[in-house]
């Protein structure tokens, strides 16, 4: 099911069970960032059921399990910079930065204005 101009619910579904309870507020913010960055956002991870989250080493309280998170693939430093800036510009304040992806979430139960590296 199409959620926004650039995102479909299938992109966010858990790969092991198909759970797709992604939060619309999160997808709408992601859409704004995607448009601002003028780059496709390829999602490595969106929704995760508890089982899949454990299999990939996610923390028990992961925003992925609650439908407030995604990991966006990055190809190089320039893409990482542009995507990260666009995410910040639209109001995201929680990031995990890795060599090949950016984790972003807007989980209302987690601290804001934080960034970590993998």
Quick one: angle between helices 77-89 and 24-37, nearest 10? 130
User: What are the pLDDT digits (tens) for 86-100?
Assistant: 999 999 999 999 999
> What percentage of the chain exceeds 90 in pLDDT?
100
- At residue 105 the predicted structure's pLDDT band, cuts being 50, 70 and 90, is very high
Surface-to-core class of residue 104, CB atoms within 10 Å of its CB (0-12 exposed, 13-18 middle, 19+ buried): buried
Alpha helices in 13-69 (DSSP H): 24-37, 50-55, 63-66
What the chain holds in terms of domains, given with CATH numbers, is: 9-117 (3.30.1380.10)
> Which pLDDT belongs to residue 22?
97
- At residue 75 the predicted structure's pLDDT band, cuts being 50, 70 and 90, is very high
Dihedral over alpha carbons 84, 90, 91, 97 (to 10 degrees): -10
Q: Are 84 and 112 in contact (CB under 8 A)?
A: no
Q: Residue 83 is encoded by which pair of tokens?
A: 């995507």
């Amino acid at each position: 099911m199409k959620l926004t101009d650039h995102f479909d619910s299938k992109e966010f579904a858990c790969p092991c069970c198909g759970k797709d309870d992604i939060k619309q507020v999160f997808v709408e913010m992601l859409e704004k960032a995607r448009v601002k960055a003028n780059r496709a956002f390829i999602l490595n991870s969106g929704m995760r059921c508890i089982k899949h989250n454990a299999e990939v080493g996610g923390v028990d309280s992961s925003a992925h399990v609650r439908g407030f998170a995604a990991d966006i693939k990055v190809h190089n430093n320039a893409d990482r910079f542009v995507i990260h800036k666009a995410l910040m510009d639209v109001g995201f304040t929680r990031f995990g930065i890795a060599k090949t992806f950016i984790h972003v979430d807007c989980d209302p139960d987690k601290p804001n204005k934080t960034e970590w590296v993998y």
